[in-house]
Structure 1
Amino acid sequence: MTAETALMLPLLVALAAGLVWLLAVGLAQVRVTDAAREAARATARGDTWPQAQELALRVAPAGASVERSTESGAVVVRVEADAGGPGGLLGRLVPDVRVGATAVAAAEEP
């Protein structure tokens, strides 16, 4: 029984590490989606771009980039960030993934 456990243990550790990595990527995707939505909404309701950008950077993962454009009276905000293992864990074992989200909001009339 001990030999079987010794053979299976590395596989179980690798599986757990993979699940933690997937969870971290999913969480980063949710955060960039929320950040893009908040910045688009803030800009559309009349906040200045620096205010909206600051709001997005507070919600997004560290090191995120926030871009804005205007198309046909709508505000388009794109947020991108790198997602890796939580707390820097697994940094050398699994690659970072670039996640991004775009949000569109109609500009409100004053």
Structure 2
Amino acid sequence: MAEIFRAAFISVDKGQMEACITGGMTKVQAYRRIILPQAARNALPATGNIFISLIKETSLAFTLGVVEIFAEAKMQAAESFRFFEAYLAVALIYWGLIIVYSYLQKLLEKYLDRPYRT
């Protein structure tokens, strides 16, 4: 994540800060009003992809002792011998989470893209 945000800050042209200072803004104002919004817009897609990967990989947390959706389904399926139904339910839950998050990310990207539309 740090690499994503570092790359997002680097992607904002240095001339933006120079223009802000020339226009009479302080550095804090320039970062808050100009630099950070542009960096956030650049970092959003990669950050969203990382978040989706984390959602999909939560089943790895079970190895650390954290009981989550997949682990609970595994324990329930072991009791009832209905593995297919349990895993199908988990797959649908993960699919739903990803669909909802992807939709919210799309809305946020559209909102951040408003000033750049022609």
Q: TM-score surpassing 0.5?
A: no
The TM-score with structure 2 as length reference comes to 0.39
Choose between structure 1 and 2: higher helix proportion. 2
The structure with more radius of gyration: 2
TM-score (norm 1): 0.41
Higher relative contact order (CA 8 A, sep 6+): 1
Structure whose residues are more often strand by fraction: 1
